[in-house]
A and B are shown apart, each in its own frame.
Chain A
Amino acid sequence: MQETAATDVARSRDTSFHQHLTDREGVLGTLFLLPAILYIAVLVGIPFFLAIAFSMTDVTVGNTSLDFVGLENFRRIIRTPQFQRALINAFLFTLISQVIIIILANVLAVVLSQEFRGKWLARTLIILPWATPIALGTIGWLWFLDSKFSPIDWILQNVGLLGPGTLLGPGRHLNFLGREWLAMASVMTVYVWRLLPLSTVILMAGLTSIPEDLVDQGQVDGASFWRIHFQIKIPLVLPILYIALLFGLILTFGDMVVVFVLTRGGPVYYTQVLATWAYFKGIEGGSLAEGAAIALFLFPLLLAVAILILRTARRMEVT
């Protein structure tokens, strides 16, 4: 730690100076803050501005020369159908999966706050999706949704819902990742699967911080369980719900791994999202500048959403 090194040196010279240093709040405050600020300035700030710079040049993987082209890259990419689809998908996937997650997290948080046997086992199982590295968990789903070997297909076949002359169609396989809408639904399902544990934990954090007295009072006042839940608890955890929502939005909107591993943006480009399209265009396509330009679309949107949510959450502080 920088500060202990400084104070050690100071100590060896003059004890009264040491006292002063560790007491002077202004100095201490700045010293404490310095490493973090340096880290961020150098490794986030500089690349950020570099990325902006790249997006306005014609830099590619091949040539290292930089020629300024202004907003040309932006103009070009906005017109491509892949970009437009990627933009729409990013919003669609994020919003739909988040709504589902919030609803399910509410149910799960309520259930997990009850006492029941095997609670520890249940918690461990429910946390599994969050504990797995994204790429690996998604690979698991790759098998689960495989066009030939999916266990889901097998179950549906044996229950009589899949196959010739059944409800779900003549084919013996649903081909989850090869059909446009199914593929989109699959991506969203993986998002929900992965983020539900996190949102539930955040929500549980909020629920446990509600004073016991208020719940007791609600019971004495004659409210049923659900009335207490919706009219007392939920309003009080709304700021937390917003934070859970915010995290979910951030992690889903900027996510690249799930789509990359599950569908590679396919079929065709129907499940492409901004982050994956930026990668494909930039690295595999070779046009670093365009990749940077596409990726830049992510940031302002995320920023706007974050500011909106944080402001709303602050305003809702009731105590």
Chain B
Amino acid sequence: MAVVEIRGIRKYFDKVKAVDGIDLSIKKGEFLVILGPSGCGKTTLMRMIAGLERPTAGEIVIGDRVVNDLPPRARQIAMVFQSYALYPHMTVFNNIAFPLKAQKVPKRAMQEKVEWAASMLAIAQLLDRKPRQLSGGERQRVALARALVKEPTVLLLDEPLSNLDAKLRASARDELQRFQRHLGITTIFVTHDQVEAMGLGDRIVVMSGGKVRQIGTPQEVYHDSADTFVATFLGSPGMNLVERDNFLVGFRPEQFIPKEATKSQDNLKSLPFKVNRVEYLGAEQLVYGVIEGTIDDDSLILAKLSSELTLRIEVGQCYDFVVQQQQLRFFDKSTGQRIEPRPF
């Protein structure tokens, strides 16, 4: 059952096409991630769902109603901004209670709900403080509590983790996901961080230039990327692309390993790989180099190897690296779209 439907949504700012034709259907209880680089239109899309921008064309449907003409407060949504937007002059309690006050909820019910939201996010002891007295992580929880307290149909999150320290981000991600599963609330999460997207989303919508490139589960967008943009955007590092005749061949760095390290010897494509640089990252090493020989391509190729590998990789040497045939992906050279496998 679709809770949110987006039909043919466009947003043009004079000549700039921020969002250029998007169709999307979000199921109840789903955690949907909208992923893309800065300027791809993801925040504009979210703002249109929230009602902070009016679409130039198209319809937005929330829970069976077309909401294009409705202001944010009539849409049964809650939103957490990247900056958290906590009201600096109000206490944490009043911040969380604010949506309830707007709905004229009676005092006792309001008290209960605020305490419920606060204890769910483990901030009950902070209710008397002001935002400037809180840490980044605490502020984020207050913002979430405020969003949840009115039990919205849809929860919108605009890069809520990007202001946190790197270490904090991982645990915040974990909490957020458990939280969402527990409450079963339909969530739309916008981010530019593909690791976050992969870790959190039930489905990922990959956007670029105002258009949707692919919608799918993390597995689908990673292993069955629809075009070169998705293939290179996802993965750290992204997919390697090699030009050949009139098409592109792609393989992921972790799939590109030395011949000596493979167990089976069938269905392998072997490529001579000259190493320029090795980056030791602890558990892994990133090997930078170029493909030699018949393939006339100077692009930088990366291989991601475990540091546990017995074989020592030396700079300046040439090795036989292999990829499994079924792992190769083929893309059209001009459009970037995925095409059928062919001899290579």
Of A120-128, A212-220, A299-307, the one contacting chain B is A212-220
Kindly state the separation between the CA atoms of A318 and B51 in the bound complex, as whole angstroms: 29
Q: Nearest CB to that of B82 among chain A residues?
A: A213
Known contacts A216-B52, A235-B89: A224-B83 contact under CB 8 Å:
no
A232 at the interface (CB under 8 A from B): yes
Q: What residues on A are CB-neighbors of B77 within 8 Å?
A: 220
Take A219-B73, A319-B132 as given contacts and tell me if A224 and B85 are in contact as well, using a CB distance cutoff of 8 Å: no
B246 within 8 A of A: no
Stretch among B95-103, B171-179, B237-245, B289-297 lining the A interface: B95-103
Question: Is A20 located at the chain interface by the 8 A CB criterion?
Answer: no
B88 located at the interface, meaning its Cβ lies under 8 Å from any Cβ of chain A in the complex: yes
In the bound complex, do residue B89 and residue A213 qualify as a contact, i.e. CB atoms below 8 Å apart?
A: no
A235–B130 Cα gap in the complex (Å)? Answer: 14
Least CB separation from B143: chain A residue: A217
Q: Report the Cα distance A56→B66, complex, angstroms.
A: 80
Contact with B along A221-235 (1 / 0, CB 8 A): 111100100011001
Q: Which of B130, B132, B146 contacts A221 (CB 8 A)?
A: B146
Whether a CB of chain A sits under 8 angstroms from the CB of B344 is no
Q: From known contacts A216-B52, A318-B132, A319-B132, infer whether A221 and B81 are also in contact, taking CB-CB under 8 Å.
A: no
Q: Which residues of B contact A319 (CB under 8 A)?
A: 88, 132
Q: Which residues of B contact A62 (CB under 8 A)?
A: none
Asked if A236 CB lies within 8 Å of chain B CBs, one says: yes
Q: How far is the CB of B318 from chain A (nearest CB, A)?
A: 54
**Measured between alpha carbons, how far is A213 from B72 in the docked complex, in Å?**
14
Q: How far is the CA of A211 from the CA of B81 in the complex (A)?
A: 12
- Tell me the smallest distance from the CB of A319 to a CB of chain B, in Å: 5
Is B71 located at the chain interface by the 8 A CB criterion? yes
- Does B79 reach chain A (CB closer than 8 Å)? yes
Is the pair A219, B52 in contact by a Cβ cutoff of 8 Å? yes
Which of B51, B73, B78: most chain A CB closer than 10 A? B73
> How far is A146 from B132 in the complex, measured between Cα atoms in Å?
57
A220 and B89 CA atoms in complex are apart in Å by 18
Digitize B53-83: 1 where CB-to-A-CB distance is under 8 Å, 0 elsewhere: 0000000000000000001110001110101
Closest to A236 in B: B89
How many angstroms between the C-alpha atoms of A214 and B79 in the bound complex? Answer: 12
* Chain B residues near A224 (CB-CB < 8 A): 73, 102
User: Is B87 a contact of A232 with CB atoms below 8 Å?
Assistant: yes
Known: A211-B83, A214-B85, A214-B87. A220 touches B78 (CB 8 A): yes
B102 touches A223 (CB 8 A): yes
| Cβ A213 vs Cβ B146 within 8 A | no
Determine if B146 and A236 form an interchain contact, defined as CB atoms under 8 angstroms apart.
Answer: no
**Contact at A219–B89, with CB atoms within 8 Å?**
no
Chain B neighbourhood of A217, CB < 8 A: 79, 81, 85, 87
B50 at the interface (CB under 8 A from A): yes
Kindly state the separation between the CA atoms of A220 and B150 in the bound complex, as whole angstroms. 11
The answer to whether B88 touches A216 (Cβ under 8 A) is no
A184-217 vs B, CB cutoff 8 Å, 1 = contact: the mask equals 0000000000000000000000000001011011
Contact residues, A230-246 vs B (CB, 8 A): 231-232, 235-236
Contact of A222 among B73, B83, B87, B89 (CB under 8 A): B73
* Cross-chain contact B99 with A221 (CB below 8 angstroms): yes
How distant is A79 from chain B, measured CB to nearest CB, in Å?
48
Residue B50 contacts which of A220, A223, A318 (CB distance < 8 angstroms)?
Answer: A220
Q: How far is the CB of B189 from chain A (nearest CB, A)?
A: 16
Say yes or no: A222-B99 contact (C-beta < 8 A), given A318-B132, A319-B132: yes
CA gap between A211 and B88 in the complex, in Å: 11
Most buried by B among A220, A227, A319: A220
Give the chain B neighbours of A231 by CB distance below 8 A.
98, 101
Task: Report the separation of the CA atoms of residues A224 and B101 in the bound assembly, to the nearest whole angstrom.
Answer: 11
**Chain A contacts of B81 at CB under 8 A?**
213, 216-217
Q: Is the pair A216, B103 in contact by a Cβ cutoff of 8 Å?
A: no
A223 to B90, CA, bound (A): 15
Q: What A residues does B83 contact at CB under 8 A?
A: 211, 213
| Interface hits, B295-310 → A, CB 8 Å | none
A236 contact from B73, B88, B98, Cβ within 8 A: B88
Cα A235 to Cα B85 with chains together (Å): 15
Nearest residue (CB) in B for A238 is B89
Q: Which residues of A contact B52 (CB under 8 A)?
A: 216, 219-220
In the complex, which residues of chain A have a beta carbon less than 8 angstroms from the beta carbon of B78? 220-221
Per-residue 0/1 for B6-30: is the Cβ within 8 Å of any A Cβ (1 yes, 0 no)?
0000000000000000000000000
Residue of A nearest to B75 (CB): A220
Residues of B within 8 A of A222 (CB): 72-73, 99, 102-103, 150
Q: Nearest-CB distance from A206 to chain B (Å)?
A: 13
A236 CA to B98 CA, complexed, in Å: 16
A219 and B72 contact, Cβ closer than 8 Å, known pairs A224-B102, A227-B102, A318-B132: yes
Q: Which residues of A contact B50 (CB under 8 A)?
A: 220
C-alpha spacing A219/B98, complex, angstroms: 11
Q: Do B85 and A216 touch (CB < 8 A)?
A: yes
B73 A221 Cβ-Cβ under 8 A: yes
Contact: B88 with A220, CB < 8 Å? no
- Chain A residues with CB below 8 A from B130, complex form: 318
Question: When the two chains form their complex, are residues B89 and A223 in contact, meaning their CB atoms are under 8 A apart?
Answer: no
Pull 29 A–B residue pairs with CB atoms less than 8 Å apart, ordered by A.
Answer: A211-B83, A211-B85, A213-B85, A214-B85, A216-B79, A216-B81, A217-B81, A219-B52, A219-B71, A219-B72, A219-B73, A220-B51, A220-B52, A220-B72, A220-B77, A220-B78, A220-B79, A221-B73, A221-B98, A222-B73, A222-B102, A222-B103, A222-B150, A224-B102, A227-B102, A231-B98, A236-B89, A318-B88, A318-B130
Known: A217-B85, A220-B73, A223-B73. 15 other contacts (CB 8 A): A211-B85, A214-B85, A214-B87, A216-B52, A219-B71, A220-B72, A222-B103, A231-B98, A231-B101, A232-B87, A236-B89, A318-B88, A318-B89, A318-B130, A319-B88
Interchain residue pairs A-B with the least CB separation, the first 6: A217-B85, A222-B73, A222-B102, A213-B85, A221-B99, A220-B79
